[in-house]
Each structure stands twice: as C-alpha cells, then as structure tokens.
C-alpha cells in the first residue's frame, strides 16, 4: 500500500515517539523541529530533515503538528517560513497539540482560505502511549478529513474518537485535563494519608488498583509519587497551561470548577518553586511539603 508523504513538526516528549512510529510504519517522513537537534535520531532512522516548516510542508500531503501551546502552533503554521508559505492546496494539517478550541477554529479557517484541510486531534495517554501507539485521539473536523488521516492516526493511536466539527476535539481534551487534575491530586492526597498512617504504600496501591479507586494515575504514577521521583510523563507546566484552557472554557459555559481551580493554585505554587519541568505527578510534593525543597506555602 502506498503511504502518503508526512511532515511531522514538533519533536518533543510526545511528538518524537509519535513521529518514530509514523516512520516505522513505512510513511515517507519529513521532520522539522525548532530545536534542530531533536531531528537527528529520526534522520538516523531514515527521515528527511527540513530546514523550515515551509520546506517540510511543501513535500507533504499530511502535515502533523505537535507543539506546546497556541502561540507555537500559530507561529509554525503562519509565521515566517511557516507551513502556509510552502503548503500545497489539498494538503491536510493534523494538529495533535492541546490548544484552545477557538484557536483551532481560527487556524482551520485561515488554512481553508489556502485550500488546506485541518483536524484538531489532541492526544491523551502520556509518553508511554506515544511510544506504544496506544494514545487516545480526540478528533474534531470533517468526516472526510478524518478518513483521509485515519491510516496515520491508527499508527499513533489505539482509540480514535470523532466528536464533531473543528474545535470539538479540543473541548473534550479540556474535559480530560480536568479529570487528570482531580485524579492526580486525589492520588497524591491519598498517598499522603497512607504515608502518615505508616501503611505499606506499594501494597496499598496494589490493593486499590482493581477497586472503585482504580485509575490511570494510580496504575501509572503512584510509584513515582511514592519514590518522590517525577520523570516525564507530561510536564506539570504544560498541564497548568491546559488547565487554564479548561477553566476558561468552563467560565465561558457558565460552569464553576472548584476542584480544578484548587489544583491550578497548587500547580502555580509548585511551578514557582521550580518544579514546572517535572511530571504532573509532582503534585505529590504539595501534600508532602518536607519532600519539596523550595516550595513556599502560606
């Protein structure tokens, strides 16, 4: 089966393993990252490097984007030497970034003026899911664009869910990040109590995983919280950015989110104390302040 040429823009903690899976699946792959060194491992495996996003887009039918925030996505698509300067009409942009739904809608409209399609397809499942190809993809956009992108999406995701027009994938991702905030904070709080009671923490977690308290966070992040070691995962500072999007989305819908608001405040304090580049599971530092050097609390 002939594979479409793919450009992958953004080779961070999620983008790099996703791009590696695309390459391994046999797609001709062109990569570009603003920090060019990130391109080298993929180039060593057979990907073509592009000096700019425009150069990458010029040779690709499918253009995957996985960047940190709204500003970065807009810059790569429409900034100097961005995708818009090289892309051919009929191409399709697949945006795996987590950004505001309104931003996705605005980007889709601008690309549409160039004859280019757009899907918002934010992902959830962490770096583990990116490496294994088991991410959950939350898709907004036309059904025709989704079917065109499906062979690529099936390489990086284990579940593809289509929620409606452009922006709806980002709205579901906002819901996801609210659930992440609550589940991680609840796990950290529960472990703080278990530790204070002198309970065997690993045994407690193993016992609870199969019951009503079971969660992805409990299964995948309890060990890090117990060991007070927080490798990525998903960066705390990026989750705080996503949580801001969720809170703004909720405010616009007239919904109050007291738990998420509380977690946002905790994350702000942790980031101010220098923990923003750790995994979200570093929320556990707040509940065990003796383990959080530099954490200032009122």
Catalytic site positions:
173
Sign of CA dihedral 105, 107, 110, 116: negative
Sign of CA dihedral 102, 107, 112, 113: positive
Angle between helices 236-252 and 168-196 (to 10 degrees): 120
Sign of CA dihedral 283, 286, 292, 296: positive
b/e map 227-248, b = 16+ CB within 10 Å: eeebebbbbbbbbbbbbbbbbe
Compute the C-alpha angle 180/184/187, nearest 5°.
145
The half-sphere exposure of 36 on its side-chain side, counting CA atoms within 13 A, is 6
Computed on alpha carbons and rounded to an integer, the radius of gyration of the chain in Å comes to: 20
The half-sphere exposure of 170 on its side-chain side, counting CA atoms within 13 A, is 32
Burial class (CB in 10 A: 0-12, 13-18, 19+), 198: exposed
d(CA 39, CA 26): 18
């Amino acid at each position: 089966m002939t594979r479409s040429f793919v450009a992958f823009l953004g080779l961070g903690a999620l983008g790099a393993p996703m791009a590696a899976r695309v390459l391994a699946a046999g797609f001709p792959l062109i990569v570009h990252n603003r920090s060019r060194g990130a391109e080298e491992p993929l180039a060593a495996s057979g990907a073509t490097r592009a000096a700019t996003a425009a150069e990458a887009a010029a040779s690709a039918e499918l253009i995957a984007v996985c960047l940190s925030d709204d500003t970065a996505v807009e810059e790569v698509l429409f900034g100097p030497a961005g995708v818009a300067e090289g892309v051919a009409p009929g191409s399709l942009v697949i945006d795996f970034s987590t950004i505001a739904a309104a931003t996705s809608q605005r980007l889709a409209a601008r690309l549409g003026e160039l004859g280019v399609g757009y899907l918002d397809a934010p992902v959830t499942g962490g770096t583990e899911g990116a490496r294994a190809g088991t991410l959950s993809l939350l898709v907004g956009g036309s059904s025709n664009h989704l079917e065109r992108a499906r062979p690529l999406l099936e390489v990086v995701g284990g579940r593809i869910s289509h929620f409606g027009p452009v922006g709806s994938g980002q709205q579901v991702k906002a819901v996801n990040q609210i659930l992440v905030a609550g589940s991680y904070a609840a796990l950290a709080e529960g472990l703080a109590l278990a530790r204070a009671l002198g309970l065997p923490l690993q045994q407690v977690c193993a016992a609870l995983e199969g019951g009503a308290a079971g969660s992805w966070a409990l299964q995948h992040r309890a060990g890090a919280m117990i060991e007070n070691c927080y490798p990525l995962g998903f960066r705390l500072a990026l989750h705080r950015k996503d949580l801001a999007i969720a809170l703004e989305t909720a405010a616009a819908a007239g919904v109050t989110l007291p738990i998420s608001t509380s977690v946002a405040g905790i994350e702000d304090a942790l980031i101010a104390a220098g923990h923003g580049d750790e995994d979200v599971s570093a929320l556990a530092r707040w509940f065990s302040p003796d383990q959080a050097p530099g954490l200032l609390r009122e």
